[in-house]
């Protein structure tokens, strides 16, 4: 009888543990707006912060809390924190970088509002990272205000495409020609986000950005894909793949 | 029945000769019935009768209701409680890990298509002791992406399965971040280093 009771008690405790495990979620960092999911620091990040001195850990968490309060997606800030800790960056520099990143996201949110858009998390993440990464505000503002009325999907894909092209030093005017062609025909699909790959391979082969843009516009007007651009320029998808990284 | 009849005969008042004859006849019939041979029941009769009395098995719902409503006592000792709590903590930890794992290496049937990316870092004089790839795709955790040294080719190598997207990465050589010298697309990391940008589009056209 005792043994049976003991087994019952163990089963009861295990059931409670399962229930707790199912209910377990990262602890809310702060309350979100009504109807929104509350922000929360992931357990892995919380564990990493615990390796920092308490006062600096408090300052780091305060930045994350601020990002949450201002309605910014938390993942870019958590990622930057994890990156800094992994690279052995001094906590004071991590804190300063998080401040710079907060400013970048504030700037991005203001830019979206200036152009009559609500700062949706996906767009804000791309735009905030672009501002933080040094993409010129003029380039970003021209895109956001120029294509503000477009469908959310193509608007986001076009933004990612423009940001990567800008990082590669592609001319803004040529980018705008391609985007105009894509939005006009509805041919801007998710594949076009990484069109910069075609540009970089084309440059290696001695082709000009102008030639690439012209080929891309023609393909976009016909509803084609980036692979059609590379084919029209004389190379295939195979040329875009298989390179070993590093060395 | 015989007993009640006898009782009635005993209690009945004295009657005439005709009544006495009737009573005697009744007694004779009763005696003949008592002495008559008793016929045996047909084969299987008893089993069939008993089968009708077999207890019915309660439905699972009834069993569950009985189990839930039956009072029971719970006893434990501190030692057993401690072991149960330890088991509970292990389960919680497993739950957290399962919830927290990013789908970098896996991806279910509905998950994104993963592409194999081969990272290579030259080390001709084998000067490095440990090299990892840290990046946005592995949460910047060196432990999950340690490279192996290929003594023949004199390079550090790692093959990783990555989801579509643009990923940033650096090499971590003996704990020191090192930029990929061959990266075609880079980005300032805000800490004074340069991250390489790797683009994976999910159709095995994976590198830049």
pLDDT at B32 (0 to 100): 83
Tens of pLDDT along A203-243? Answer: 999 999 999 999 999 999 999 999 999 999 988 765 555 44
- Any idea what the Cα angle at residue B151 is, between residues B145 and B156, rounded to 5°? 25
Given a cut of 90, is residue A1 above it in pLDDT?
no
H helix intervals, chain A = 2-23, 43-49, 54-69, 75-86, 91-114, 121-132, 137-146, 152-167, 172-185, 196-204, 209-221, 226-232
Lowest mean pLDDT among A198-212, B4-18, B185-199: B4-18
Contact list in B for residue A89 (CB cut-off 8 A) is 191
Given a cut of 80, is residue B147 above it in pLDDT?
yes
Q: Which of B181, B189, B207 faces A83 most closely, judged by CB atoms?
A: B189
Is the pLDDT higher at A154 or at B86?
A154
Percent of chain B with pLDDT over 70: 73
Is the pLDDT higher at B115 or at A18?
B115
Instruction: For each of the domains in chain B, give its residue range(s) and CATH number, in order of start.
Output: 115-200 (2.60.40.10)
Determine the distance in angstroms separating the CA of A231 from the nearest CA of chain B, rounded to an integer. 14
3-state helix, strand, coil in chain A (%, to 5): 70, 5, 30
Q: Which of A5, A100, A247 faces B182 most closely, judged by CB atoms?
A: A247
Determine the distance in angstroms separating the CA of B199 from the nearest CA of chain A, rounded to an integer. 7
Question: What are B177's two structure tokens?
Answer: 């971040």
Determine the distance in angstroms separating the CA of A143 from the nearest CA of chain B, rounded to an integer. 20
Is the pLDDT higher at A158 or at B201?
A158
Residues 108..137 of A with a Cβ closer than 8 Å to B: which?
Answer: 132-134
The span from the CA of A97 to the CA of A77, in Å, is 10
Question: How many other CB atoms are found less than 10 A from the CB of residue A167?
Answer: 18
**Residue B68, φ and ψ in degrees, nearest 5:** -75, -35
pLDDT at A35 (0 to 100): 44
Beta-carbon separation of A79 and B188 below 8 A: no
Residues 167..226 of A with a Cβ closer than 8 Å to B: which?
Answer: 167-168, 191, 194, 196-197, 200
Tens of pLDDT along A36-46? Answer: 556 777 888 88
pLDDT at A37 (0 to 100): 54
- Kindly indicate whether the ipTM for this predicted assembly is greater than 0.90, answering yes or no: no
Q: Which of B181, B190, B207 faces A241 most closely, judged by CB atoms?
A: B207
Closest CA to A134 of A89, A161, A91, A168: A168
Q: Give the pLDDT band of residue B43 (cuts 50, 70, 90).
A: confident
Residues 21..80 of A with a Cβ closer than 8 Å to B: which?
Answer: 21-22, 24-25, 42-44, 79-80
């Amino acid at each position: 009888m005792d043994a049976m009771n003991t087994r019952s008690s163990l089963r009861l405790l295990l059931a409670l543990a399962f229930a707790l495990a199912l209910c377990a979620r990262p602890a809310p960092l702060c309350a979100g707006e009504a109807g929104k999911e509350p922000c929360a620091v992931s357990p892995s990040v919380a564990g990493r912060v615990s390796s920092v001195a308490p006062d600096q850990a408090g300052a780091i968490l305060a930045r994350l809390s601020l990002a949450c309060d201002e309605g910014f997606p938390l993942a870019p800030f958590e990622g930057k924190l994890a990156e800094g800790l992994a690279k052995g960056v001094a906590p004071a520099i991590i804190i300063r970088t998080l401040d710079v990143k907060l400013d970048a996201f504030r700037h991005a949110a203001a830019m979206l509002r200036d152009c009559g858009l609500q700062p949706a998390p996906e767009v804000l993440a791309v735009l905030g990272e672009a501002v933080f990464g040094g993409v010129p505000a003029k380039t970003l503002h021209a895109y956001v205000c120029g294509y503000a009325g477009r469908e959310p999907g193509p608007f986001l894909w076009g933004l990612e495409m423009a940001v990567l092209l800008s990082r590669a030093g592609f001319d803004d005017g040529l980018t705008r020609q391609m985007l105009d062609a894509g939005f006009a025909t509805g041919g801007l699909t998710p594949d076009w986000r990484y069109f910069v790959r075609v540009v970089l391979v084309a440059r290696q082969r001695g082709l000009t950005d102008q030639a690439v843009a012209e080929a891309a516009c023609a393909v976009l007007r016909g509803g084609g894909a980036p692979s059609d651009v590379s084919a029209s320029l004389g190379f295939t998808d195979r040329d875009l793949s298989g390179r070993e990284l590093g060395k | 029945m015989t007993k009640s009849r006898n009782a009635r005969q005993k209690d009945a008042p004295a009657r005439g000769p005709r009544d006495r004859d009737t009573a005697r006849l009744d007694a004779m019939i009763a005696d003949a019935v008592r002495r008559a041979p008793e016929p045996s029941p047909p084969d299987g009769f008893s089993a069939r009768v008993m089968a009708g009395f077999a207890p019915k098995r309660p439905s699972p719902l009834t069993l569950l209701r009985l189990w839930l409503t039956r009072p029971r006592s719970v006893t434990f000792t501190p030692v057993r409680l401690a072991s149960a709590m330890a088991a509970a903590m292990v389960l919680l930890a497993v739950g957290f890990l399962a919830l927290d794992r990013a789908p970098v290496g896996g991806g279910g049937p509905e998950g994104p298509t993963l592409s194999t990316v081969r990272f290579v870092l030259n080390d001709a004089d084998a000067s490095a002791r440990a090299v990892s790839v840290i990046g946005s795709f592995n949460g910047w955790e060196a432990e999950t992406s340690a490279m192996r040294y290929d003594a023949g080719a004199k390079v550090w190598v790692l093959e990783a399965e990555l989801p579509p997207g643009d990923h940033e990465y650096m090499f971590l050589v003996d704990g020191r971040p090192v930029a990929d010298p061959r990266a075609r697309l880079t980005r300032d990391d805000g800490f004074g280093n340069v991250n390489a940008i790797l683009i994976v589009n999910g159709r095995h056209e994976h590198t830049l």
